[in-house]
Amino acid sequence: MIQDIAPHHFDNQYHPRPPKTDIAPHRYDNTYHIQKPGAQDYVFCIQKSRILLRETAEEHVLTIPRREEIEAAVPELMDRAVYLFSVDEKPYFLVSVPEKEAEEILAKLKEGAGQMPVSDKNNMEAGKTDSGTLKGAEKELEQLYYAWKTPTDIRAMEPMHQAFAAITAVQLWRWRQSRQFCGRCGAKTEDSKIERALVCPVCGQTEYPKISPAVIVAITNGDKLLMSRYRVNHSTYRGYALIAGFVEIGETFEETVRREVMEEVGLKVKNIRFYKSQPWSFSGTLLFGFFCDVDGDDTLTVDHEELSVAQWFDRDKIIGQDTDSSLTNEMMMVFAAGKEPK
């Protein structure tokens, strides 16, 4: 019978995962430009919220195509390319693909598929590709093919700044698709020449990208944190999360915090303090994270139209989500580590 493991040391202390909700030290530049893609620039081809990515056959490494390979197979696509943004001064472009063309484009790309561009190949051989990879992927080169990937697939991409670029491109694509025609007169909109906007050439109506502000609320009760789960038909996410909700017209963020907490779990809160914000392009949302303390009675009255369960968790019993990229997970882990703002 093993009684001890000396001279080895057993450490059972809980160590929360470090948060990774931003792309630092990488720099995102949203300055508006009108320009054409260069041969080595990244191009996101998107249809029905699905994004065209390279994928290796065995290890399922996802990488972002560049203009040179897209143009070689389907040259006419580059006439539709729209500048999006840059990350570390590397431009990214968007091409909207009609659903009826998706499979034909995929077939043409597969005909020429085999090896990635030389620049990406050299980087991957050195283990430092910046085109994006899936967790746990080997750095060996494999036969490549192309596939239409969903936003859920994008969440598994690494490095994080490439996943961020991909889902941000999807958000901008969704906005452009929903604003193809003027909401005032019905005329077809055009790209603005001076800013990121779609403009009606007939009546002058201007449409800017839609961003929906929402709050994430970490409610504390001494060394306990309130966590909840959504109803099955309310969200596809099945893990524990924090109270959340959209800001209504005429509300401050603090008023939204009080209203959402009362609506979902029937609590009054105090000492509301801002933590940080995060763009969340999966739902077109700009998230604002707040910590607050329960004010008085901590008995929960759960809104079962929205939540399946809500309960208090001791600080040392908190387990994070399966992703390091969300503000919700970061706030949970900050509380677990005892580092929440007081």
Report yes or no: 244 and 217 within 8 Å, Cβ to Cβ: yes
For range 154-159, the mean pLDDT: 80
Please say if the pLDDT value at position 282 is more than 60.
yes
Torsion of Cα atoms, 172 then 307 then 213 then 326, to 10°: -60
Residue with tokens 């063309």, as numbered in its chain: 101
pLDDT, residue 56, reads: 73
Work out the pLDDT band at 160, boundaries 50, 70, 90.
Answer: confident
What does pTM read for this prediction? 0.83
Residue 235 corresponds to which amino acid? Answer: S
Question: In this model, does residue 216 exceed pLDDT 70?
Answer: yes
* Positive/negative CA dihedral, 149, 161, 198, 65: negative
The confidence band for 233, taking pLDDT boundaries of 50, 70 and 90, is: low
Asked if 243 and 261 touch (Cβ cutoff 8 Å), the reply is yes
Measured from the Cβ of residue 46, the count of other Cβ atoms closer than 10 Å reads: 22
Q: Please give the share of the chain, as a percent, with pLDDT higher than 90.
A: 65
Digit-coded pLDDT (tens) for 49-80: 999 998 876 666 788 999 998 998 899 999 99
The predicted structure's pLDDT at residue 239:
80
Least confident of 43-52, 211-220, 297-306, 313-322: 313-322
Nearest to 215 by CA among 84, 82, 331: 331
Question: How many residues are there in the chain?
Answer: 342
- E strand or H helix at 111: helix 99-112
Band the pLDDT of 294: cuts 50, 70, 90: very high
What integer pLDDT is reported at residue 232 of this predicted model?
64
Q: Where are the domains of the chain?
A: 28-178, 179-210, 212-336
Whether residue 124 is predicted with pLDDT greater than 70 in this model: the reply is: no
CATH, range 212-336: 3.90.79.10
Check whether 254 has a pLDDT greater than 70: yes
Six-digit token string for 63: 């990488």
Mean pLDDT of 116-139: 47
Pick the residue with more confidence: 62 or 249?
Answer: 249
Question: Which residues neighbour 16 within 8 Å (Cβ) at sequence distance 6 or greater?
Answer: 318, 320, 333, 334, 336, 337
Confidence band for 4, pLDDT divided at 50, 70 and 90:
low
φ/ψ bin of 230: left (φ > 0), alpha (ψ from -120 to 50), beta (otherwise)? beta
